[in-house]
Structure 1
Amino acid sequence: MSRKKKPIDIFLQPGEYFVADAGYQIRTMLGSCVSITLWHPATRQGAMSHFLLPTRGASKPKQTLDARYGDEALKLMLIELQRLGIPSAQCQGKIFGGGNMFPGNLRSGALNVGQRNGEAALTLLREHGIPVMSESLFGIGHRQIVFDVSNGDVWSHQVMPIGTDSGDKGDLL
């Protein structure tokens, strides 16, 4: 009788990304940061990022790609997937995070960092022709994310700050 092998667990810190096969699950915790997951169903390979800001901006020259920035994190993941023979258009995308960690401190009408990150992620995937299969974006509080590369499932658990009446919310996406 064969036992299912337990996946190797990887935890992403802010500014990191990881490309893996079906033997891995990738997890992280997000506040205003955003994670993009990419999954290729035929090969059961995928990637996940944890970025802090949408872009580095034009003011700083790009020496090397830096996964702290959404546009560069996606490029890094796509480069690695292409090395594995996986075209970006065959990937399925999911997006998580972009929470408002300090809801009482936001000026009226101003976009918070989480909102900018989430909108950038949606735009980036659209520009690369990667379909967004699901998303869990914005709101108040942080999220715990677990990406099972073996089947493409992502578990998202949103935790509201103490003192809010929304409670915890967990979803399999």
Structure 2
Amino acid sequence: MTIQRPVSDGLKRLSVMQGNVEISRATDVMMTTVLGSCVACCMFDPVMRVGGMNHFLLSEPGPAEGSVKVDEHYGVYLMEVLINGMLSQGVRKQSIKAHLYGGANLHANMQKIGSANAQFAQDFLARENIQLFHMDLGGTTARRVDFIPAQGRVRCRVLKEQVEVARPVLQRPATDRGDVELF
């Protein structure tokens, strides 16, 4: 679901959640999302002044999943929806420029989903001959992405790393409380 709310600079903010695609030519729209291991692709046509953003959770179904129905959480689906949506606005595919963001591996001991998502997105753009204008992928921290589609302008901010919770320090009693016999 997309939430639209005005921001102080007069732009309307569209939140692009997981599994969503937004496309706009409006000059007063800013698309925004927060990414961890997910990837967002921001595409724009500088001539037609049309742009869009998607936000995908996983790159594509694995071989064990076999033939699956269309799933809006996969990049393989959302990249096509974004491109086709832009083409329906009169954009020519060879004019599209792209930005990629996200793909972090937030937890060291978990599967590298972020890396797989980032690699998929780069490979997809190369296969489709879409120019990769800029990318900020990988790492271990989340990102917030703000995109003004009609201008192709993006601001990506890295969010602070996870805050360490202070653990209480256990203190030994100052006085001797008796003898302990070890067996």
Q: TM-score range by the shorter chain?
A: 0.7 to 0.9
Asked if 1:133 corresponds to 2:133, the answer is: yes
Aligned residue in 2 for 1:123? 123
Runs of 5+ consecutive residues of structure 1 not aligned to the other structure: 164-173
Question: Judging changes above 3 Å, is the alpha-carbon distance between structure 1 residues 150 and 6 closer, same or farther for their aligned structure 2 residues?
Answer: farther
Runs of 5+ consecutive residues of structure 2 not aligned to the other structure: 1-8, 165-183
What secondary structure does 2:72 align onto?
A: coil
Aligned residue in 2 for 1:84? 89
Which residues of 2 match residues 1-80 of structure 1 at below 5 A?
6-21=10-25, 22-57=27-62, 59-64=65-70, 66-80=71-85
Aligned residue in 2 for 1:171? none
| Percent of residue pairs identical | 23
Give the total of aligned pairs: 153
1:59-98 Cα offsets, whole Å, 9 max, x none, are 353544x331111101001111111121222111000000
CA contact (8 A) 1:49 1:67 kept: no
- What TM-score, normalized to structure 2? 0.78
Question: Judging changes above 3 Å, is the alpha-carbon distance between structure 1 residues 17 and 115 closer, same or farther for their aligned structure 2 residues?
Answer: same
Aligned residue in 1 for 2:178? none
Aligned residue in 1 for 2:6? none
1:97-121 Cα offsets, whole Å, 9 max, x none, are 0011112x14xxxx60000000000
CA contact (8 A) 2:45 2:96 kept: yes
Say which one has the larger Rg. 2
- What TM-score, normalized to structure 1? 0.82
**Take 2:84 and 2:33, find their aligned partners in 1: how far apart are those partners?**
22
RMSD: 1.7
Aligned residue in 2 for 1:99? 104
> Offset at 1:6?
2.4
**Take 1:89 and 1:126, find their aligned partners in 2: how far apart are those partners?**
12
**Take 1:130 and 1:116, find their aligned partners in 2: how far apart are those partners?**
19
Runs of 4 or more above 6 Å deviation? none
Question: Judging changes above 3 Å, is the alpha-carbon distance between structure 1 residues 16 and 60 closer, same or farther for their aligned structure 2 residues?
Answer: farther
The letter for the 2-side match of 1:46 is G
CA contact (8 A) 2:50 2:89 kept: no
